[in-house]
Structure 1
Amino acid sequence: MADWDAETLDTVYASMRDDISSTKLRFPASKVAAIIGLHEYGDPVEDFLEFLYQDLDDLLALDASVLHMEVTTKDAELDALIRKSGADAALNTLLQWTTDTRTTAKVNHALGLSDNAKSVIDKACKKNKLTTAEAKTLHQGLASKVWQSVGKRNESLAIQLYENQHGFVPIYPPSLSLCIYSYMFCSVRVHSTNDKLYYLYFPHPIQAKALTTGDLPSCGCRQAIALEHFIERVEVDKMTSSASVGEGGSQHRTGQHFSICGMIDGVADVLSINDVDDTWSTELILVEVKNRMRQFRHPVPLYDVIQMAVYMKMLGVRQGDMVQCIHQGPTTSIHVTRISFDKYPLTSTAVPCSCTPTDLWVSLVVPRMYTYASVIYAFRSHDSRRRAFVQASPRDQRTLLREALPFL
C-alpha cells in the first residue's frame, strides 16, 4: 500500500460508498446449494470472492491496486496456462470443440477428449513447463468446459426422450372402464423456457417488517415464512426485455436485499388425480435436465434438489421432474425422478426447531441465504477487513470464512 497515502485512499473509497451499498447480490440458482454449504464439490472461498466483487469492478480494481495484485478471469488464466504448456494446438482444438454446441455429444467421446487433454498436460508437467498445481488447474478448467458443452449439446435430446417415454398419459378418471381408457390419451409436451430469465427478489427484512402487522418472528423458520409473502417473482424475455436488464443480467428492484436468477429447461402439464373423488386435472411441473458423464445419481444429489426447489419457486409450482441423461455409445438412457415440496428431502427439517410445520426451504435455505448476503455486505463496507481476507493465504481464507459463515 506504499503507493497510497491514507487520506487519499479513504477519499477514494468514500466516493464508492453509494455504489457499493446500492449494488445488490444476484445469486445464480445453480450456486444456491454452494452458498448455503450443501454442495459437495463447491469451492467456498472462490464463490465468496466472486460474490464479494459482483458488479463492483471499480472496487475490485482499487483493492487489487492497493494490494499489488493482478486481476484476471478464469478464461484468461486458462489461456495463459495453455500457452505456457507449449501444447497450444492440441488444447485449443479441445477448446474449440467445447464451443460448438450444434450437435449432440456422446459421453465416451467427451471423456476421451478429456483424457487426451490430461495426457498432453501431464507431458508438459514432466517437461517442467507447468507446475503440478498449474497442471491440475488447467485440466480441471478444460474438463469443466467439456462437461458444460455436453450438457448444452444433449439437453434437447434428453427432453425428446423424456417426451417419448412419458409422452402419453391416461386422462380419464380411474372409475371409467378399460375400453374407454384405451382411447383416451393426451400428449405430454415439454415447453422450452430457455428464452426467459427468471428471478426471485428477496426483500430486506426491514422492508418486510414495515409491511407486516407487528414484529417479525425471532425464529428463523417463522421469519422465512413471513418473508415468503414478499418475495417477488419475475420472468424476463431475454430478447425483447434486454434494455430493462442491468449489467450481468440483473434487474433493479427497490427494497430488494438480494435476488436469485436462473434459466429453466422447460415445463410440462401432467395429469393430477384427486385421491378423494377421483376427479382429474392437469398440473404444471418443472422439467430440468442433468446430463451425466458416467452414471445416474440415485438418490438425486441434494444440491440438485435445492436447485430444483429454486426453479419451482420461480415458477410457483410444487413439483418437477429431474431428467438425468447419459448419451453413450449407440444408446441414450434417461432416468426420471419426481421432486416435490411435499416429499423428502424438501419436507425435512434441517435445524432443531419447535416450529411446525416447517421444511428445508424455510428452516435452512432462506435463513442461510440471508446470513450469507449479510456477511457479503459487511465485508463490502469494511475496507480493511475485505483486503485482509483477499490477501490472506488460502488456508487462512478458509478459516476466516468459516468464522463468518460456520455452515460452509
Structure 2
Amino acid sequence: MKITALVLVLGFLSASTQALAMSLNDLTILLPLPQEHEMSLVLKPEDNGAQGPLLSKKTYQEIVQLVPEVPNHIIWKQALQVVGVRIDPCFTEGEGPLSCRRQIRLVWQPVFHEEGSADTRDAAIHSFYEFDDESFKKVWQAWQKLSSGSSQDALQIHPRLKKEGLQGAYWKYLRSLILNFCGENNLIRMTAMNVMAGEQLWIFSGFDVINGQAKPMAIPRIRGQTQGVIQSSSQFQSFSGGMMPAPEEHDPEFSKLTADSWSVKKKFTEAQIREVLGRALEYENPERHNPGTIDCASCHLANMVHQWGEANFSQFNWNADFNQVKFQSTWNLANPTKTTIKTNQLRAFGYFANVPAISQRVINETAQTAIYFKLQK
C-alpha cells in the first residue's frame, strides 16, 4: 500500500521537475515551519510506515526531558515533529579508514502554535535509520527524484517546499519516501539536545539501539555519556561559561575561548588566536573530523566560534590564512542563515525559535555528500 502511494506521487513529482537539477537542498532538507492548517501533514513520531513507527513512545522515553516546563509524553504526543531530513551515504565514526554506513537522519523539534504562528523550543532529537548496501541503492534511486532547482543554491529552507508548502507534490513524495524506508525496525541511534536551568544550560546525550534495547553512547574526548554547555553572559557576542566537562586535554585553548572569550581576546597573542580559530574550522571540516573524533559541545560551538572570529579579527584572510584546515568545495558553501552572533545559539540544523539555523559543519557535510554521489553542478 505504501509503495503504491510512493509510485503515484512519483509520477506527479517527476512530471513537474524534468528540467530541474539536484542541489544541496535536496540532500539536507530543511522544512518550512507548518501553518496551522498543515499540521495534519507533518511527520510525527507515531506515524507508521513499512518499517514501523518512526519513533515509538517506548524508544522516545529513553531520552532526557526535552522541554523543562512540558512533560516528555506530552511533547511526544502533541508537539514533536520532523523539521529536517538528511541523507548520508557514508557515515563514519572514529579513526579511519572505516567502511561507509548508509543512513537517513530525521531532525525533530517541539513545535507549538502561538497566536497563529509556529515556534520551536530550543531542543532537538536526531534519529538515525541505517541500510545495507542493497537497500540503500533503492533509497538513492527514489531520492534522486527530489531534484528541484538550481544546483548552485545555498543550503536554506528548501526553496520549493517554502513555495509549495506541505500540501505540494515535493513534500507528498518525500513524506511517502520516508515512511517507506524509515522506522523502528532500522532505527539504530538517537541523539538529543535539551535546555535546562532557565535556558542557560544545554545538555547533549544519546543512545544506540541494539537489538531493540537502548544503550547510552560514550561521548568522544570526554569521560562520560552526557555533556553540557553553559553560557551565563548576558552579552550575546561573548562566550562566558564553557563546556561541562570540557575536553581540555585535547584542546585547552578552544576550551578557554568558549569559557571566557573576553579574557582570551585580551590575553592571547594573534598567533594563538589564529590557532584556536583554525581549530574551529577543523571541527567544521568533515574531512578532518567525524562524530567519533570530536565531542558534541565542541562541534556545536565551532559555528559560533567561527563567526565570533570573523567579527573580531577582520585582519585575518579567512581563505588564505586557514586554507590547510578549512573545508574546500566548488559547491556553494555560503550560509544564508547567519544572523547576529548569539553564543547561546547551538542549533546545528533546524530552528532557533522560528528562525532557520544551519551550521557551517552541516553545509560542509552536505557538500561532501554531493561529491560522494558525483552530482553535477
- Greater helix share, 1 or 2? 1
- Greater strand share, 1 or 2? 2
